[in-house]
Amino acid sequence: MKTTAITFMIASLSISGIFPLSGFWSKDEIVATTLHHPVFFVFTLLIAFMTAFYMWRLCFLTFMGTPRDQHRFDHAHESPKTMTGPLVFLAVLAVGAGWVGIPWLHNGFASFVYHGSVAPEHHAPSIALMILSLFVGLSGIGLAYLVYLKKLISADAIANRFKLLYKLSYNKFYFDEIYEVILLNPVMKIASLMWKFDAGIIDGLVNGVAWATILWSDLKMLFDTWVIDGAVNGAGWVVRETGNLLRFIQNGQAQFYALTIATLVVLIGIFKLEFVRIDLDWPIITTIFVVGVPLIFIVTRLAWNNQDDSSDPAQDKKA
């Protein structure tokens, strides 16, 4: 995998701050900026050393030395041009893209990326700082070479000698755990409480109002159907059924009307006697009623038959 290896090493040299690649000029600007701040200056050089060390540890373990897995090594192959082409392009940029930041240029990198009304700040070039920065980067690469390629220094021995520092660095200084305890867990608990409040209170109120509205609508529908419409339809039904009963009385026969009137007179007489409390024997009144009503009916019926016998047959046929 020569193309991948070469382009990866060029990028590693650049990010390690090796002259004259792009990373050297950007790192030199940072070192020059922290020159008058001793604490930041030391940390800047330490970070530059660590960057060069772990990048070339990656290079030595990946592309050099004895294969740790012979089967995978034998079956490894170069990536297609769709991958190696962009790698070559990025490697070219890693070499020369930072040259716009050369401090001896009048329009250096600061002018290239600066935006504003105030003139960008330019640091005077310092050969001593450049040599120091280059030495730090080469030292990181050299230490990685001695530990992981030549194995003159045992990484395990260093880890055993500095167990606390090794454990802290191996566990990424427990930043994930600290982040989880300080930020993640509280935020998750707050989010859970807010979700419960939203689901139980806010949604509960909204859903409760909706449920009450539906219930009220159902009750109004039942009241309208069974009470309002029931009263209206019931009144119509009573009138209709009463009419159906009374229409048999309106038959146009005078004899039937006479019988009805006589019956009503007898009934009114009975109730009148009860109302004025005339001292009569009720069985006698009942007998009069029971005998009188059929008698009136018989007389009426005879009159009716006589009327039918005297009617004109021609008119009956016509009718």
Closest CA to 296 of 250, 267, 270, 258: 258
Is the per-residue pLDDT at 308 higher than 60? Answer: no
Position 312: which residue type? D
Residue 158 is predicted with a pLDDT of 83
The pTM (predicted TM-score) of the whole model is 0.53
In this structure, the dihedral spanned by the alpha carbons of residues 278, 279, 282 and 287, taken in order and rounded to 10 degrees, is -80
In this structure, the dihedral spanned by the alpha carbons of residues 193, 194, 195 and 201, taken in order and rounded to 10 degrees, is 100
- Cβ-based burial of 26 (10 A; exposed 0-12, middle 13-18, buried ≥19): middle
Residue 43 is predicted with a pLDDT of 92
How sure is the predictor about 319, in pLDDT bands with cuts at 50, 70 and 90?
very low
Q: Report the percentage of the chain scoring pLDDT > 90.
A: 30
Residue 245 is predicted with a pLDDT of 75
Higher-scoring residue by pLDDT: 292, 198: 198
Q: Model confidence over 181-197: pLDDT tens digits?
A: 999 999 999 999 999 99
Question: Phi then psi for 64, rounded to 5 degrees?
Answer: -130, 170
Average per-residue pLDDT for the chain: 81
Q: With contact defined as beta carbons under 8 Å apart, do 29 and 39 qualify?
A: no
- Cβ-based burial of 17 (10 A; exposed 0-12, middle 13-18, buried ≥19): buried
- Asked which of 96-100, 260-264, 314-318 is least confident by mean pLDDT, the reply is 314-318
Is the per-residue pLDDT at 83 higher than 60? Answer: yes
How sure is the predictor about 103, in pLDDT bands with cuts at 50, 70 and 90?
confident
- Asked which of 161-170, 258-267, 289-298 is least confident by mean pLDDT, the reply is 289-298
What CA–CA distances, in Å, run from 133 to 27, 138, 139, 319?
8, 9, 10, 135
Residue 155 is predicted with a pLDDT of 83
How sure is the predictor about 287, in pLDDT bands with cuts at 50, 70 and 90?
low
In terms of average pLDDT, the best of 64-78, 82-96, 269-283 is 82-96
Q: What is the DSSP string of 103-149?
A: TTSSS-HHHHH--SSSPPP-PPP-HHHHHHHHHHHHHHHHHHIIIII
Taking the C-alpha atoms of residue 136 and residue 31, their distance in angstroms, rounded to an integer, is 11
Taking the C-alpha atoms of residue 273 and residue 315, their distance in angstroms, rounded to an integer, is 47
Residue 241 is predicted with a pLDDT of 84
Residue 289 is predicted with a pLDDT of 63
Residue 74 is predicted with a pLDDT of 85
Is the per-residue pLDDT at 285 higher than 70? Answer: no
Kindly list the domain boundaries of the chain, sorted by start residue.
2-170, 171-212, 246-310
Taking the C-alpha atoms of residue 133 and residue 28, their distance in angstroms, rounded to an integer, is 7
- Asked which of 1-15, 47-61, 97-111 is least confident by mean pLDDT, the reply is 97-111
Strands of the chain, DSSP E: none
Within 8 A by CB and 6+ apart from 30, the residues are 44
Closest CA to 47 of 156, 182, 169, 140: 140
Q: Model confidence over 30-39: pLDDT tens digits?
A: 888 888 888 9
Tokens of 237: 């039904």
Residue 30 is predicted with a pLDDT of 83
Residue 11 is predicted with a pLDDT of 93
The backbone region for 172, taken as left when phi is positive above 0, alpha when psi lies in -120 to 50, beta otherwise, is left
Q: What is the DSSP string of 150-195?
A: S--S-HHHHHHHTHHHHHHHHTGGGHHHHHIIIIIHHHHHHHHHHH
Is the per-residue pLDDT at 276 higher than 60? Answer: no
DSSP state of 35: T
How sure is the predictor about 218, in pLDDT bands with cuts at 50, 70 and 90?
very high
Taking the C-alpha atoms of residue 8 and residue 63, their distance in angstroms, rounded to an integer, is 10
Taking the C-alpha atoms of residue 50 and residue 246, their distance in angstroms, rounded to an integer, is 114
Residue 299: other Cβ atoms inside 10 A:
14
Residue 316 is predicted with a pLDDT of 47
